[in-house]
Amino acid sequence: MARTSGKLRSSSSGLFSDRPEVEDHLSLGCSVSEPPPKLQLRDLLDITPSLTEAAGAIVDDSFTRCFKSNPPEPWNWNAYLFPLWCFGVVVRYLILFPLRATVLAIGWIVFLSSFIPVHFLLKGHGTLRKKIERGLVELMCSFFVASWTGVIKYHGPRPSMRPKQVFVANHTSMIDFIVLEQMTAFALIMQKHPGWVGLVQRIILESVGGIWFNRSEAKDREAVAKKLKDHIEGTGNNSLLIFPEGTCVNNNYTVMFKKGAFELGCTVCPVAIKYNKIFVDAFWNSRKQSFTKHLLQLMTSWAVVCNVWYLEPQTIRPGETPIEFAERVRDAISKRAGLKKVPWDGYLKYSRPSPKQMEEKQQSYAAAMLQTLEVDAK
């Protein structure tokens, strides 16, 4: 009889709430023909695998890493760098910022003075109004981008408005939407925010089309799935832009993509966005700052530089589940933008993991113990 350690092992990571139960691999280290070795006292008392996992998670975990905003490196102050830096601050706050704020103000005035009349006067002329409003929104986004001195490089064929397609992109900040909207008027699906942002969301997105969802409502998912389907089937709607991560991530990693966008039976066009951190860290750490503060930070930095890649449209392959499809698209986006993949659900930022994952581990321990009883019974 081969000597085996007979250790109790919990199932390793790879845990997502959407996935069906993962098969547990009990490493009792025996082949099928031999009876499993009996558990000894030291096997039961040896809890080191679980302990090591827990301690490992305390020391460093892949989930928290996704939301760590990079602090700006402190400069080495010396006689010439410090005055240079001070000069830079003066330029940024006292020259660039007022200029940018003015540009933004002008943009708002131009936009509102055109949008409001068009919205009410052309009430009867649906398509014409929509077209003008779309153009106005694109214009407004350009104003926004100018207000941060945005240098955005678009790669790949420009998105064309075709029916039965959705666009998915990785999510770093709410400005992702503005960066993409500047080029094409997408319809959006977004979490409603309070304050002036919510107002803006409501007004403008009435024109390009938008779907609301509420993270905190459990039943919301089905309602949203239906709204998504209706939008895609409807004619004359702008293509939907979806951020399947469901939350802002720090542009070094991608979290699990929610399968909602991938089970609609239409083409998925992936878009990868990567911000250049040398100029500013565009990650909106919603736990740390409000959106207003985030925008102000952008407007007092030198520039927002980013790359946008429009990738090849993908359709679900025969025999592929929506989750696998989502993973495949996430792979493509992560590779293009140089992001690392992480097997966690972004919503864990707001809630605890479901008990299912702990139960999987418990189940494998219990199975090992039960096997001992069976061996005795024989």
Binding site for another protein (CB under 8 A): 5, 8, 10, 13, 15, 39-48, 50-64, 68, 70-74, 287, 344, 348, 352-353, 357-359, 361-363, 365-367, 369-370, 372-373, 376
Which pairing describes strands 150-155 and 210-213: parallel, antiparallel, or unpaired?
unpaired
Give min distance, CB of 364 to another protein, in A.
9
Give min distance, CB of 115 to another protein, in A.
41
Nearer to another protein, 63 or 97 (CB): 63
Give min distance, CB of 377 to another protein, in A.
11
Residue type, 232: I
Give min distance, CB of 355 to another protein, in A.
9
Give min distance, CB of 87 to another protein, in A.
23
Q: 281: helix, coil or strand?
A: coil
State both tokens at 285.
């750490």
Nearer to another protein, 312 or 376 (CB): 376
The Cα–Cα gap between 170 and 176 comes to 9
Name every residue whose Cβ is closer than 8 Å to that of residue 313 and which is 6 or more positions away in sequence: 165, 267, 268, 269, 270
Nearer to another protein, 69 or 321 (CB): 69
Give min distance, CB of 77 to another protein, in A.
13
The Cα–Cα gap between 89 and 300 comes to 9
Nearer to another protein, 54 or 200 (CB): 54
Nearer to another protein, 51 or 128 (CB): 51
CA dihedral 306, 180, 115, 292 (to 10 degrees): -50
State both tokens at 21.
């139960």
What secondary structure letter does DSSP report for 79?
T
Nearer to another protein, 6 or 159 (CB): 6
Nearer to another protein, 61 or 233 (CB): 61
Give min distance, CB of 133 to another protein, in A.
42
Nearer to another protein, 68 or 335 (CB): 68
The Cα–Cα gap between 212 and 218 comes to 14
Burial 118-127 (b: 16+ CB within 10 A, else e): bbeebeeeee
Which segments within 135-275 are labelled E, that is strand?
150-155, 165-169, 187-191, 210-213, 240-242, 253-256, 267-275
Give min distance, CB of 276 to another protein, in A.
19
Give min distance, CB of 68 to another protein, in A.
7
Distance of CA 54 to the CA centre of its chain: 26
Return the residue matching tokens 């069906």: 20
Nearer to another protein, 237 or 357 (CB): 357
Q: 267: helix, coil or strand?
A: strand
Annotate 302-352 with DSSP letters as a single string: S-EEEEEEEPPPB-PPTT--HHHHHHHHHHHHHHHHT-EEEEEEGGGGTSP
